[in-house]
Amino acid sequence: MLPADLIKALQAHTGLKPQGERMLGGGSINQVALILLGSEKQRAVLKWNSAALAPMFEAESRGLQLLRANAGSLIIPEVLGTGLTDARSWLLLSWHEAGRSTNAAMERLGAGLAAMHRCTAPTFGLDHDNYIGRLPQRNQPAAAWPEFFMGQRILPQLEQAVSSGLLARSWLSKTDTLAKQVEALFPDEPPALLHGDLWGGNYLISTRGEPVLIDPAVHYGHRETELAFTRLFGGFSAAFYRAYYAHYPPAPGYESRTDLCNLYPLLVHVNLFGSSYAAQAQAILKRYAA
């Protein structure tokens, strides 16, 4: 059952009394439930956590709204509200029923993501910091991709992993070598609007066959990092990549840069989940920074 303070907050915000809920799996950070509001039992998704994590929901709300304004054919949940009680912070989102994935749906996801990646900004980063998982994600704008990738992505996570004893301190002395590789290997491309945390658990195909993106870590970055992330945990379907490449082909040699792109999410996983991801991260560091 929902905590009493959340029931009171939702009723005050929506004017509708929660009539029931079903806890949803898959959330390792927040409590997540499908809730039924009012006599007509309107469905919505409620996420909640401690009051101290209110900035995380505020950042997610801002990211979802930015995606909704630029995602074209992709479906982005509507933010129905955010709030704070004495004990808890919460985020209320529109509900999208998961259906069956098909080749046609994955082609729509690939084409839609390619179109979203053509939404650009003057600089890499964002006008506010946010989160990836429960970890803070810096987004200080930078004109050049190597500066942003190293300063706002790799170094903060590497320093945290070293500080926690999960990676050897010696890697910090090799970041200049890594930075030179980043500068030499990545092609120049405009900053692209990215979901930022796009693995298989952060999208669904609705019962209408529409791709829905959830749980973003939005920023303007190099689009190859998003493509690489989709391959990190088993990859998306061939139909997805075929459609993406048809609408926005990556630069030659993209696949040779996939591991370098994925150094960031692997360092994030080291810091979130511990040493089980350290070997993968170290293998990439040895390849590009040793």
Q: Catalytic positions, please? A: 197
- Residues near 80 by beta carbon (within 8 Å), at least 6 away in sequence: 14, 44, 92, 93, 94
Rounded to 5 degrees, what angle do the CA atoms 223, 79, 228 make? 20
Residue 8, burial from CB neighbour count under 10 angstroms (0-12, 13-18, 19+): middle
DSSP E strands, 98-238: 130-132, 135-137, 192-194, 203-205, 211-213, 219-221
Compute CA distances 175 → 181, 250, 253, whole Å: 10, 26, 23
Phi and psi at 270, nearest 5°, equal -60, -45
State the Cα–Cα distance between residues 198 and 117, nearest whole angstrom.
13
Cα 216 from chain centre: 3
Inter-residue contact 184 to 104 (CB < 8 Å): no
Q: Can you give the length of the chain in residues?
A: 290
Phi, psi torsion values for 97, nearest 5 degrees: -70, 130
Among the listed residues 109, 100, 177, 179, the one whose alpha carbon sits nearest the alpha carbon of residue 145: 179
